[in-house]
Structure 1
Amino acid sequence: MEKEFAKAKSVYLPILLKNRYGLKVKAQGRNFGVDYCPKCSKTEGNQNKVSLFVVAGVWRWKCFACDTPASSSIDWVCFAENKTAKQAVSIINEVVTDTIPIPSTAPVKREIQETCFPEVIKRLMQVGNNDAAKKYLQKRRIGSEVVDEAIQRGLVRSLPEDPYQAKKALEQVVGVDLMRKTGLLKEGKQWPAIAFRPVVFPQGFSGAEFRMMGVPENGEPKSIRYGRLVTPWWWAGQDHEKVLIVEGAIDGLSVVQMGWMGHVLALPGVSSWNPEWLGRLDTRYPGIEVYVGLDSDEAGMEKTEKIMAEAEAAKVKARRFMSWNFKDWNEALMAGATI
């Protein structure tokens, strides 16, 4: 039966969902997206709702609405058709064996990109001019003292604000070959998208967010993330007895500017939260109290309740610490609030 399970997990999930369930599968960069989740049964017309991606040669799916963890094709059939895992395996292998190609077990392109990305971060750290980041963050009311400290800690970097100069700097510092290998520069393209997003928030050496300084046009994304999230954006504070969890590095810098003296853990998005971090925090800082201060929107409030429940189960002290009547901490800072 072990071979049957392995065979079912290796099916080409995008085609399975298209052919068996009639779902519209849309390419999303290196991955695919669908707007239906078999677990929460919600359809929102958002092709990014459920992401389909490859890990170690096997297709996985993750719903960002109900926060389902990365799951296999077997899990999909179990939820969609109310079947046991054994029944799902039989359905997949009997119905789609001859029509769905099995992906190679060799390292896939995305895994190669993620493996090489730490070298990108190391090279970006050599860029000495961080004027664009300073200019952008000061517009967000984050003072020069906090920004300079963040730059010194390697938590903020920037490319030149002018896209032509940014492209030139990337070619000189990172190199065209490495940019292509990591997906920063697409095949057949001459311009990397990050040349237009000069504000950089590294997440350790495993990933980074590249943010635009101006207002996006024609539906283009304000920020793009590359690499993978191994560790979140982390500001080591002076008070080791508490840590504040927020969304995004800008909110992380905002709470420091507002007077927060503890540690700050900034998530690039609520779906990136890893419950294992609670145990790691408590191990490194015994008795630490976790303050959960995610955005005051539906997703943020739902995730707050989940983290509170996880903290209780892990016997880690936690409390809700929202940004009052503001959407997020930067909005509160812009309004003159302090902690």
Structure 2
Amino acid sequence: MAEPLTEALTALEQANRRQASAELQQQILDLRIRAGRDRPAQPPAPPTAPGVNRTAQDRGAIPEIPRRELGAQRLCDAIHGSGAAIVRGLIDSEQAGQLRTLIDRVVAAREHPESAPPREEDAAWYLRSKEVSGAPARFFANPDEPVSASSSIWAADSPRVACELLELYAALGLPALLAEYFGEPARLSVKKWVLRKVAPDNAAQAGWHQDGRFLGETIQTVNMWLALSDCGGAAPAPGLDLVLDGRREIYPTGTAGAIFDWTVGPELVAKVAADCGGVVQPRFAAGDALFFDHYNLHRTAFAPHHTAVRYAIESWFFAASTAPLKQQPILL
């Protein structure tokens, strides 16, 4: 990022820390979106770091990395070996609770603006940046009906929460970690940075999919799926089903019994799982993080015992030089 932009962003963020302001939050986000469009001059590093052992995977379990040992090499080994990695307690339960409260506040500002004004003196809760193109994101709902129990919202549509999360990511050391992982700076994305509040829907089977089917294969990515409530396994809220698969391959969709043309059919999923490490449904506590990339084959879990809402934040990070412009990159 050019030096004047860096200086401007630093000044805005320091001012917002001293006295939170809706105007400052919007300016910070706008500037990061504009800066995210810049491409680095250096070519990207290879997608696989030296020393990665693609065959090293514990059958039946996703590798777990202690928070204090989370580094680019350990993360790359796990993702390229088994398709994913878990970091327990990446944030503490108090932080997770605060983020749940923020998500509820954003949902209220979108769905009931008359009772929860979207703009307050110290917070821009739900405001579309002029730098963002496309219609407002509305997931899991008829666009003509209000969202009730379930809602997923672009983090960039809440400058207040986006600024909170960027501060959190910096405190966790993610910019430096991902720059080492990619060999260049990382970018977030307007369309792949999502606040999730999801009620279980046990009447509908979720589709198996790989994000590389939508994003492309000539990219480098890391997705951080941060659980904000107890979910998965025997928990009352749904988690994720994942195939333990270290192969770097995008599988055919719309075949082998697939429900939709964008999903991988269950017959093919079963074959891949049998050839690799099987299917797992990890249990997550609030604050646990799951890391994977665009090759990971997964779906939202569903089971009769799911009765609770699941809160999570999904943050897709891209190597800056390969970040798809249609995903609207954001400076990390």
Q: Taking structure 2 as the reference length, what is the TM-score of the superposition?
A: 0.29
Q: Looking at secondary structure, tell me which structure has more helix per residue.
A: 1
Larger radius of gyration: 1
Q: TM-score, normalised by structure 1?
A: 0.29
